[in-house]
């Protein structure tokens, strides 16, 4: 995690998940963990892909990380996707890797009580209890009833009373605790259920009730989207944005057709670029455009609907490397390949640039 020394002795809560999307319930559990467990900080580990969930309807990792940071908004909550760097997929492997990287840290795995019945489906769930202390927080509909599920019953003799929760981070695993805290009703599943979905295909035919009409055809929005992208690019160019990259998401994501990434030289310029873009979109008749991240100015997200724009300062952009995240998901824009240089010897070439080796997909 950025800025965390490897010899840290902090008491750290790990909250893993897809965060699709992040919501106040995640923040509620984190704040309760800081208070009830006496933690120094909480890390949100945004998973590239939950092995037990389908990828259908999953927002891109970069978007989930960005929005999770907007929801967290707390100096003691860190948000990142360390599985990309660790090369892990399952929770057990991630926990073991973090313990190797930070051998002196005191980690606690955090979860909602609704996860307890699902633990037996996790790879190496028994070993997970033996690898890290676990804290389960009450969730609506999942209080003490969740304690009757197989995993809690299997490790019943290692359970601490809620009054001893502050000792959990110092306990040698297996050790776990159920926290009957104030309930928060936010649910990522419920949010996705009511969030409007944009049709993936354009110009698709919808059968009419009267078959004789031959069906109705939705208007083709590609021209409007291309015009929107052109407006965005012109605005960025006018404001001297640097290193503008456009990633084509058509057919790859349901949340937008294009992702645009650009840089500003300072926090002030980043915010100004975002503000001017929002003004131009409004003047063009696009209506209200959400803009997130202006408080810090390191990373500002402008959601123009079919075009999502990320504006960074150079250092945060290099660190978070959204282009690289998309490359790992095989959805990055193609990078130019250098042509081989001709050598003095006829028919021979030197200095051929090979494409970078693909890393194993983190999911």
More confident site: 2 or 126: 126
Alpha-carbon distance of 167 to 173, in angstroms, equals 12
| CATH code, 250 | 3.30.460.10
> 165 with 235, same domain?
no
- 39 found inside a domain: yes
Site of tokens 């900080």: 41
For residue 248, what are the CA distances in angstroms to 157, 169, 231, 310? 53, 45, 16, 14
Q: How confident is the model at residue 339 (pLDDT cuts 50, 70, 90)?
A: very low
In percent, the amount of the chain with pLDDT more than 90 equals 40
Q: Number of structural domains, the chain? A: 2
Phi, psi of 247 (to 5 degrees): -110, 125
- 168 found inside a domain: yes
Q: How confident is the model at residue 58 (pLDDT cuts 50, 70, 90)?
A: confident
Q: How confident is the model at residue 362 (pLDDT cuts 50, 70, 90)?
A: very low
CA 211 centroid distance within chain? 44
Cis peptide before 224 (omega within 30 of 0): no
For residue 228, what are the CA distances in angstroms to 191, 192, 197? 27, 26, 19
Question: What's the distance, Cα to Cα, between the start and end of the chain in Å?
Answer: 19
Of 173, 190, 207, which one is at a domain's C-terminal end?
190
Angle at 276 between CA 267 and CA 228, to 5 degrees: 120
In percent, the amount of the chain with pLDDT more than 70 equals 71
**pLDDT for 131:** 97
pLDDT at 348 over 90: no
Alpha-carbon distance of 157 to 154, in angstroms, equals 8
> 115 with 230, same domain?
no
CB atoms within 10 A of CB 49: 17
Site of tokens 């100015």: 297
* Angle between helix 222-238 and helix 267-283 axes, rounded to 10 deg: 140
> 178 with 231, same domain?
no
> 45 with 105, same domain?
yes
- 166 found inside a domain: yes
Pairing of strands 307-312, 258-263: parallel
- 353 found inside a domain: no
> 180 with 246, same domain?
no
Q: How confident is the model at residue 98 (pLDDT cuts 50, 70, 90)?
A: very high
pLDDT at 311 over 80: yes
User: Is the pTM for the entire model greater than 0.95?
Assistant: no
Contacts for 338 with CB less than 8 Å, ≥ 6 apart: 351, 352, 353
- 351 found inside a domain: no
> 102 with 21, same domain?
yes
> 230 with 147, same domain?
no
Of 150, 166, 190, which one is at a domain's C-terminal end?
190
**pLDDT for 63:** 86
> 244 with 119, same domain?
no
**pLDDT for 143:** 61
Alpha-carbon distance of 83 to 168, in angstroms, equals 25
| CATH code, 183 | 3.40.50.620
Specify the 3-state DSSP secondary structure of 68. helix
Q: What is the mean pLDDT of residues 68-74?
A: 89
> 155 with 260, same domain?
no
- 211 found inside a domain: no
Any idea which of 249-258, 276-285, 337-346 has the lowest mean pLDDT? 337-346
Alpha-carbon distance of 102 to 6, in angstroms, equals 5
> 36 with 160, same domain?
yes
Instruction: Specify whether the CB–CB gap between 360 and 87 falls below 8 A.
Output: yes
Q: How confident is the model at residue 146 (pLDDT cuts 50, 70, 90)?
A: confident
Give all strands (DSSP E) within the chain, no chain letters.
11-17, 41-46, 77-80, 106-112, 134-137, 159-160, 176-179, 205-206, 216-217, 242-248, 258-263, 291-292, 299-303, 307-312, 341-342, 349-350
Q: How confident is the model at residue 273 (pLDDT cuts 50, 70, 90)?
A: very high
Q: Residue 164: give the domain boundaries.
A: 11-190
> 227 with 154, same domain?
no
Alpha-carbon distance of 212 to 146, in angstroms, equals 55
> 139 with 278, same domain?
no
CA 330 centroid distance within chain? 16
**pLDDT for 231:** 93
């Amino acid at each position: 995690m950025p800025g965390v020394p490897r010899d840290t002795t902090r008491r750290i809560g790990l909250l893993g998940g897809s965060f699709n999307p992040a919501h106040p319930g995640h923040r509620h559990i984190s704040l309760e963990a800081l208070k009830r467990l006496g933690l120094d900080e909480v890390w949100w580990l945004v998973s590239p892909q939950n092995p037990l969930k389908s990828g259908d309807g999953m927002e891109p990792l970069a978007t989930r990380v960005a929005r999770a940071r907007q929801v967290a908004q707390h100096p003691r909550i860190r948000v990142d996707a360390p599985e990309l760097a660790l090369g892990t997929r399952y929770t057990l492997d991630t926990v073991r890797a973090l313990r190797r990287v930070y051998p002196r840290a005191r980690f606690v795995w955090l979860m909602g009580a609704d996860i307890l019945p699902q633990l037996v489906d996790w790879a190496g769930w028994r070993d997970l209890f033996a690898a890290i202390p676990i804290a389960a927080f009450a969730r609506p509909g999942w209080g003490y009833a969740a304690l009757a599920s197989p995993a809690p019953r299997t490790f019943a003799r290692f359970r601490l009373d809620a009054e001893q929760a502050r000792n959990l981070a110092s306990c040698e695993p297996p050790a776990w605790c159920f926290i009957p805290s104030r309930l928060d009703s936010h649910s990522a599943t419920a949010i996705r259920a009511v969030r409007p979905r944009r049709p993936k295909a354009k110009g698709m035919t919808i059968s009419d009730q009267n078959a004789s009409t031959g069906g109705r055809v939705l208007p083709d929005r590609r021209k409007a989207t291309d015009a929107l992208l052109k407006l965005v690019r012109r605005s960025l160019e006018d404001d001297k944005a640097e290193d503008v990259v456009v990633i084509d998401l058509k057919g790859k994501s349901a949340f937008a057709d294009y992702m645009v990434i650009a840089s500003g030289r300072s926090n002030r310029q980043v915010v100004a670029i975002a503000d001017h873009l929002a003004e131009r979109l409004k003047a063009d008749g696009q209506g209200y455009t959400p803009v997130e991240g202006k408080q810090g100015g390191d990373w500002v997200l402008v959601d123009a609907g079919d075009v999502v724009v990320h504006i960074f300062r150079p250092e945060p952009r290099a660190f978070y490397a959204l282009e690289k995240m998309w490359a790992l998901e095989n959805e990055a824009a193609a990078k130019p390949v250098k042509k081989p240089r001709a050598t003095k010897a006829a028919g021979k070439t030197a200095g051929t640039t090979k494409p970078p080796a693909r890393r194993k997909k983190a999911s």
